Structure 1
Amino acid sequence: MGLSFEDMEVGSVIECGEHTFTREEIVEFAEKFDPQPFHVDDAAAAASPFGGMIASGWHTCSVMMGLLVRNAFKDSTSMGSPGIDEIRWLKPVRVGDTIRMRNAVLDKRVSASKPDRGIVETQWEGINQHGETVITVRSKGLFGLRNPGAPA
């Protein structure tokens, strides 16, 4: 068994890997899910306030979710999430940017109604190759307990 509730320590940070955004993938994602001109058209993007093509914020979130699941939560006791509390797109993600993702544990508690699982509050951060934080996400995740009912 991989990561479980007991392994998630408040204050710990999990490095989740990195991803480089290509023009082709930015356009492909945007054409399907967020076809705003600055995501799909070079000329429109150049004339936009961004001055060039950028990735959709939803694309960035999706990439970060993939990094989290594949690299940090693989074989874990994750039971999904009751939701995202906050997303902040702080800087645009541009063609060729490499985003490194990390996930910090902010708080955790055993569920009062379902004591076989715990709720873990985290903050994801996406940091570009220049060391700039481009996105933050605050969320809660549900994780199974390795030993339900054992002292914390």
Structure 2
Amino acid sequence: MIEWFDDLKVGMKFRSDKVTVSKEDILRFAREFDPQPFHLDDEAAKDTILGGLAASGWHTAAIAMRLALSAKPFGPHPLFGAGVDELRWMKPVRPGDTLHLEGEVVELIPSKNKPQGIARVKWTAFNQDGEAVYTFNPIAIVPRRPAIG
């Protein structure tokens, strides 16, 4: 069981739960955070590079964050981050898409002076057809196992 930075190994893999994105979810998020026509209106979205109604990329990012939590890559510890690299939106997320997240530990850097380390997990969100829709590589801060004594 993973509880600490010290339990992680490069190459470890994680898989999240699944979530289906509804049209109502897309519209609600867009109205509040990204009110652009291609996130709010089917007809307006048809004539864009998206070719139809699609979730905001930031909505997809928020869904991926929730899915990362369900994968529990760092055991009981929260997912603290110092930033994100290589964030890419690869395909539009459409109403009715079911997403899940897969991650792989690609780098582990123990701190020299703090009881923690940096864990880099490359995460990819896939739709129900196995197509990658989003990828990101956060800089996660994970506590180390407390010293005994």
TM-score using structure 1 length: 0.88
Cα 1:2–1:108 change in 2 (3 A) is: closer
Question: What amino acid does structure 2 have at the position aligned with 1:143?
Answer: V
1:45-80 deviations in Å (ceiling 9; x for gaps): 122222210001111110110111234158623461
Q: 1:138 to 1:71 in 2, by over 3 A?
A: closer
1:69-126 CA distance string (max 9 Å, x none) = 2341586234611100121111111111111101210010211231x11110111100
Q: Percent identity?
A: 38
Which amino acid is the alignment partner of residue 57 of structure 1?
Answer: G
- Tell me the matched-pair count: 148
Structure 1 counterpart of 2:122 = 123
Moved more, 74-83 or 44-53: 74-83
What is aligned with 2:28? 28
Is 1:11 aligned with 2:11? yes
Looking at structure 2, the residues matched to 67 and 79 of structure 1 have their Cα atoms a distance apart, in angstroms, of 12
1:42 aligns with 2:42: yes
Secondary structure (helix, strand or coil) at the match of 1:102 reads strand
Match of 1:44, SS? helix
Identify the range of structure 1 (61-70 vs 2-11) with the bigger mean alpha-carbon deviation: 2-11
* 1:1-152 → structure 2 map (5 Å cutoff): 3-73=3-73, 76-78=76-78, 80-114=80-114, 116-148=115-147
**Structure 1 outlier segments of 4+, above 6 Å:** none
Distance in 1, Cα, partners of 2:130 & 2:77: 32
- The separation in 2 between residues aligned to 1:49 and 1:75, in whole angstroms, is 40
Contact residue 42 and residue 53 of structure 1 kept, 8 A: yes
Q: TM-score, normalised by structure 2?
A: 0.90
Q: Which runs of 5+ in 2 are unaligned?
A: none
Three-state SS of the structure 1 residue aligned to 2:91 is coil
Distance in structure 2 (CA, Å) of the matches to 1:43 and 1:89: 22
Alpha-carbon distance in 2 for matches of 1:16, 1:79: 14
